[in-house]
Homo-oligomer: A and B are copies of this chain.
Amino acid sequence: MAEAIGLRTRKKFQARQTILNAAAKMFEAHGFANTSIALIMQAAGLGVGTFYNYFASKEEVLLTLARNLREEVEVEISAAGTVNQSSFELLERCCACTAKVIDENRFILPLFISAGEHSDKPEQIPRSLSPGFGEMFEEIITRGQLCGEFRADVPGNIISEMVHSIYQTTAFSKLNISFQENIRLKIKILLDGIRP
C-alpha cells in the first residue's frame, strides 16, 4: 500500500518534471510567447489537459524554472568557500558561479527580461529572477563600499544593476566568444571601474 502510494507519487513527480523539461526546451527553441501549452504538452508526450493538473498557467512554469535556477546558483555559490576573501575576489567568484549556472540554462534569462511584456497578468512575473537574486550582489557590493574596497561615489544599487545588466544582455550576445568568458571580461571591466 505504502509502496503503491509511493509509486503514484513518484509518477506524479515525474510527470511534473517531464513538463518542466519540455517547457524549458520549447521556451528555448521558440520563445515564451510562441510556445503554446499544447506545444509543451506535445513535447512532453502528455495530454493537454494534464498540464493543468500541475500548473495554472505558462507563467507559473516560467516562475518555477526561474526558482529552480536560483536555487542552483545558491548551491553553487555556497559550495565555493567564501571566507577570508576581499570583496573583489568574492564578487568575481560569485559572478563566475552565476555565469556558469546561467550558461547551462541560458534560455531563461532572456525570457525573464521580456516576460513582463507578454502576459495579461504582468504583475505575476517579476522583471528579474527575484526575489533575492540581485540581493546577493548588492550585499557584497555594499560591504565592499563600507570597507573602502569599492568606490563610494556611485550608489551600490547602481553598481548592482550594472552587474545584473551584464548577465541579462550577454545572454543575447552574438559575439564569437563563450558566454562565461564574455561575462568574465565584462565583470573585469566593472571591477576595475569600481576601484576607489
B164 touches A31 (CB 8 A): no
A169 touches B165 (CB 8 A): yes
Which residue of B111, B113, B128, B185 is within 8 Å of A154 (Cβ)? B185
Q: CB of A173 within 8 A of chain B?
A: yes
A116, A155, A158, A185 interface centre (most CB from chain B within 10 Å): A158
Which residue of B111, B158, B165, B169 is within 8 Å of A117 (Cβ)? B111
Q: CB of A118 within 8 A of chain B?
A: yes
Which residue of B31, B157, B192 is within 8 Å of A122 (Cβ)? B31
A188 touches B154 (CB 8 A): yes
Give every chain B residue within 8 A of A114 (Cβ-Cβ): 113-114, 117-118
> Residues 151-174 of chain A: 1 if any B CB is under 8 Å from the residue's CB, otherwise 0?
100110111011011101110111
Which residue of B122, B158, B182, B186 is within 8 Å of A182 (Cβ)? B158
> Residues 103-146 of chain A: 1 if any B CB is under 8 Å from the residue's CB, otherwise 0?
00000001101101111101000011000000000000000000
Q: CB of A1 within 8 A of chain B?
A: no
Chain A positions within 8 Å of B, measured between CB atoms, are: 31-34, 110-111, 113-114, 116-120, 122, 127-128, 151, 154-155, 157-159, 161-162, 164-166, 168-170, 172-175, 177, 182, 185-186, 188-195
Q: Mind listing 15 A-B residue pairs with CB under 8 Å? A: A31-B116, A32-B117, A113-B169, A117-B117, A118-B118, A127-B174, A151-B189, A155-B185, A158-B177, A158-B186, A159-B189, A161-B182, A191-B193, A192-B192, A192-B194
Given contacts A31-B122, A34-B120, A191-B193, 7 further A-B contacts (CB under 8 A): A114-B117, A189-B193, A189-B194, A190-B190, A190-B193, A192-B194, A193-B193
